[in-house]
Structure 1
């Protein structure tokens, strides 16, 4: 009978996979020796594998290039990175190596843009697409960026008042986009997104506020689906409605030349993940081209805003199993030496799945377990693997340390978890290590941040 952990993985999935392979009884991720990482830095540990960021950017560019060539699409393609997925400098520096553009969502994003421009990382002709609900500071920062010469800063109008606020702050003429308030999936608690302007109101808004406004040109229509770009009837229906608005606007607005299809590509959340990126890209472009051809209008230049897809698959977290608690005749709790609430907040906040695998002891027998964190909070657990909510790991043995890894955690977890700040139950934030390759392709590591100390939290809390 095959009872080893490696047998379970082999029987359940296609393994090894592109980023995962075994060396003996230990897991490697993109040829990174994870156990060596643990020996050097300890656990708990967070890491970011920087080359994966560039890899995903160039994969997406390749899909769009191939689709446009195949369909003889006349528009251009622009890859934007959503900074809200991870604002860290090491992420921005890696992403900007690849001739991309930026999408912002709040006031302080503009300060980051200015820092990147001053350092030469962000080109003067790069697009800065400004999304989000804009109040005084955000409007002021956008105005400063444009007034200082960054003409490719495109504020996306989210509500009727924003246009006049921007006009007051911007000295010369400028370009804007309009965000469509898409309808949400039926399972949502509300019918229409709170973001943007309704489908039926966009053309009237353009006619009333932009058409005869000598200071403002409409350049872009922005379309965003909260659930991301997926091959569902809901997605294609919303895209079709978006194209009808674009065509109606294009007929009366000669400056409109761009469609931002927003949304995001999904990232791998299990070893069983299957998504045909090239098909989706080609079908989206095909639908846009067919609609424009039928209406006899020029096809738009295309923008995408990929956040999680850009940075998500670069991140990981490693924990040690500290102890096993047998709480009843069926449930065994493996306690990690950290907290899911503080280090992987999406696992409990929105029940998000990540790829989870044992790091070592793949030749040992396995058992079914639950995973619990260190806080005294009933929500601090993880059991959302794809095996009908079951988690299987090598059997716990006090004398044989077991390490587990969560992969593709690079988007949102640091900021939602409050990097550098207070953590729930004062569980310390773990070390964070950056992993990169030198010019010869050799992997090297660099410590980005130490594990939090008691003094760090006491200082925040106001204790002398």
Structure 2
């Protein structure tokens, strides 16, 4: 029986589909992590969370698994190299990681370490990113690809990087940039390698489709491309043009879009190469998707191809075009970052309060003195059946509106209003049960169902930890990490701590559709109930903001040996209240001085004594070091 329940949980949350071999459910009903992409090494997520509690790491926190990062990076590298071997491709892979996907030092440190064996490089798009990236001593043949708009300082730093022995390529976004590079090269007597970003006619698919096409923000159109080639030739720098680059968007959902863009880009490469330029690289940009919902479809949070299929199509098409043009094949540069980073991080938090709709009818009995409409509602509840539930539901709506009007006019007591709510929700629940079994499709009942879920208040900020859910309706897999050997008929939405109505998660992944509630247990009063947000390793930390002054969360970097033993768990503290306030230009000494002035004024007025003044001042100074999220409580509050 328990095995059946566990399999039901696997199906309910879809973990075997979106987990990509990195996550599953144990026979004990807890989420397991498979850091090497197979079940030979399994780590119980709940035990890591228990360890975090023991060492007093407060929720919310991110768990990082560097081995997942290394495994995923190797999977992608092997897919391309496997395709090159299969098609006897005469070129190499020189992949780079886009810094913008996750700039956290802890992450980049592990990425660079894992990437050395693959001659893995870095891609940057701003001066701060280039400045940080150049501090890493990566493989001398690995690339530093510089995209984005550039000023003189950016370009001069890239020239200095070449003097440091870095393999830098400045990708041109406009001819004015190129003119500055040419002039600077004349001034210093040498030039860095140069790439041209092509603005393709082809587009990607999904949320970032506008990244490609002739109306896209970046890249050179055909006229600008010819002008750039002329400028390089005139300056005697034809041999410095080494790369053609394009990018049609992140999270590409359809493989046919990849094929179309690849044919066009390969043709651009071949034509320019044959005109006498020294091209060595074709940069295919990023875009390998992550299957967030496990559906393996062209839905915007999924993709309809495997990584191996992606690699096979890229290699085959480039080779085919180059063969038809009778020119050498290029080294392939891939800038995919989402597919590399997403899986390695899990956000963990705990539920602090559950607000349930309605209440227990037995505890809210109707008395003879209550308004007669309450009695009519009870009768409706008794007589409702599968044939009349729509009519009786409409009656319930009318009763509810009449009672709230009576309350507003002063003809109803607060206790009667509460009873009305309890009966109304009981009527809704009964009507929904009949509706689900009726085979009918009624919009009002579909809307009603969305409003019947419990509200689970969790200790985190969506704005800080999963901002893409608010900005682009991104869906992340979410599920409890324990009690998966217990069935539950409770469903809920997840509310965060922010004082913002947008801070409510009410869309969840599903293979067939988007769910508007999540199956959750009613937490037990004597134990914490933890929820995991999965595949959050790409973009979320870079995009997170300090809405309501909630800062970056705590982290635990979990290192696991091939024998399945945890070699170390490193704690990285999140931002405390003082750090967040300083970001907003508050000064510690000014805050303390203001508190001190107000407290001493109250001492002088005899409101408090000097001892109490000192106690509060000490607490104020200590508060700067406090974690901004809720402290752990010994018992859970269930309201409703």
TM-score by length of 1: 0.89
- Work out whether residues 555 and 573 of structure 2, in 8 Å CA contact, stay in contact via their aligned partners in 1: yes
Offset from partner CA, 1:202-231 (integer Å, 9 cap, x none):
541243211232245211100111144543
Taking the aligned partners of 1:92 and 1:60, their CA distance within structure 2 comes to 18
**1:339 pairs with one of 449, 457, 461:** 461
Which residue of structure 2 lines up, in the alignment, with residue 401 of structure 1?
528
- Work out whether residues 362 and 394 of structure 1, in 8 Å CA contact, stay in contact via their aligned partners in 2: no
Distance change >3 Å, CA 292–CA 386, structure 1 → 2: same
Question: By how many angstroms is 1:156 displaced?
Answer: 0.4
Offset from partner CA, 1:111-151 (integer Å, 9 cap, x none):
2233213xxxx13332111111112332222122123443x
- Work out whether residues 255 and 305 of structure 2, in 8 Å CA contact, stay in contact via their aligned partners in 1: no
Which residue of structure 2 lines up, in the alignment, with residue 265 of structure 1?
288
Q: Which runs of 5+ in 2 are unaligned?
A: 35-41, 54-58, 297-303, 359-424, 426-451, 590-640
- Greater Rg, structure 1 or structure 2? 2
Q: Is 1:87 aligned to residue 103 of structure 2?
A: yes
Which residue of structure 1 lines up, in the alignment, with residue 318 of structure 2?
288
Worse-matched range after superposition: 376-385 or 70-79: 376-385
Q: Is 1:178 aligned to residue 218 of structure 2?
A: no
The equivalences for 1:156-195 within 5 A come to 156-170=171-185, 171=188, 172-183=190-201, 184=203, 192-195=215-218
Any idea what SS the aligned residue of 1:432 has?
Answer: strand
Which residue of structure 2 lines up, in the alignment, with residue 350 of structure 1?
472
Which residue of structure 1 lines up, in the alignment, with residue 502 of structure 2?
379
Taking the aligned partners of 2:578 and 2:7, their CA distance within structure 1 comes to 42
Any idea what SS the aligned residue of 1:235 has?
Answer: helix
Taking the aligned partners of 1:91 and 1:342, their CA distance within structure 2 comes to 18
Taking the aligned partners of 2:152 and 2:277, their CA distance within structure 1 comes to 31
Distance change >3 Å, CA 247–CA 460, structure 1 → 2: closer
Q: Is 1:255 aligned to residue 255 of structure 2?
A: no
Distance change >3 Å, CA 252–CA 143, structure 1 → 2: same
Taking the aligned partners of 1:225 and 1:448, their CA distance within structure 2 comes to 38
Which residue of structure 1 lines up, in the alignment, with residue 236 of structure 2?
214
Question: By how many angstroms is 1:428 displaced?
Answer: 4.4
Any idea what SS the aligned residue of 1:123 has?
Answer: coil
The equivalences for 1:322-333 within 5 A come to 322-326=352-356, 329=425, 330-333=452-455
Q: Is 1:300 aligned to residue 322 of structure 2?
A: no
Which residue of structure 2 lines up, in the alignment, with residue 73 of structure 1?
89
Q: Is 1:410 aligned to residue 537 of structure 2?
A: yes
Question: By how many angstroms is 1:433 displaced?
Answer: 0.8
Any idea what SS the aligned residue of 1:371 has?
Answer: strand
Question: By how many angstroms is 1:192 displaced?
Answer: 1.7
Taking the aligned partners of 2:150 and 2:496, their CA distance within structure 1 comes to 38
Which residue of structure 1 lines up, in the alignment, with residue 548 of structure 2?
425
- Work out whether residues 268 and 408 of structure 1, in 8 Å CA contact, stay in contact via their aligned partners in 2: no
Larger strand proportion, structure 1 or 2? 1
Distance change >3 Å, CA 69–CA 229, structure 1 → 2: farther
Distance change >3 Å, CA 93–CA 294, structure 1 → 2: same
Taking the aligned partners of 1:46 and 1:371, their CA distance within structure 2 comes to 18
Q: Is 1:28 aligned to residue 32 of structure 2?
A: yes
Any idea what SS the aligned residue of 2:135 has?
Answer: helix
Taking the aligned partners of 2:553 and 2:6, their CA distance within structure 1 comes to 27
Offset from partner CA, 1:401-421 (integer Å, 9 cap, x none):
321101111112112115xxx
Question: By how many angstroms is 1:179 displaced?
Answer: 0.7
Taking the aligned partners of 1:106 and 1:55, their CA distance within structure 2 comes to 28
- Coordinate RMSD, CA, aligned: 2.7
**2:75 pairs with one of 29, 37, 59:** 59
Taking the aligned partners of 2:280 and 2:583, their CA distance within structure 1 comes to 49
Question: By how many angstroms is 1:259 displaced?
Answer: 0.5
- Work out whether residues 368 and 390 of structure 1, in 8 Å CA contact, stay in contact via their aligned partners in 2: no
Question: By how many angstroms is 1:157 displaced?
Answer: 0.4
Distance change >3 Å, CA 112–CA 73, structure 1 → 2: same
TM-score by length of 2: 0.66
Q: Which runs of 5+ in 1 are unaligned?
A: none
Offset from partner CA, 1:371-390 (integer Å, 9 cap, x none):
11110112212233223333
Taking the aligned partners of 1:114 and 1:409, their CA distance within structure 2 comes to 26
**1:196 pairs with one of 206, 211, 219:** 219
Distance change >3 Å, CA 203–CA 343, structure 1 → 2: closer
Taking the aligned partners of 2:563 and 2:9, their CA distance within structure 1 comes to 37
Question: By how many angstroms is 1:287 displaced?
Answer: 1.0
Distance change >3 Å, CA 389–CA 13, structure 1 → 2: closer
Taking the aligned partners of 2:13 and 2:61, their CA distance within structure 1 comes to 28
Larger helix proportion, structure 1 or 2? 2
- Work out whether residues 81 and 305 of structure 1, in 8 Å CA contact, stay in contact via their aligned partners in 2: yes
Taking the aligned partners of 2:139 and 2:270, their CA distance within structure 1 comes to 32
Taking the aligned partners of 1:244 and 1:398, their CA distance within structure 2 comes to 63
**2:517 pairs with one of 391, 412, 434:** 391
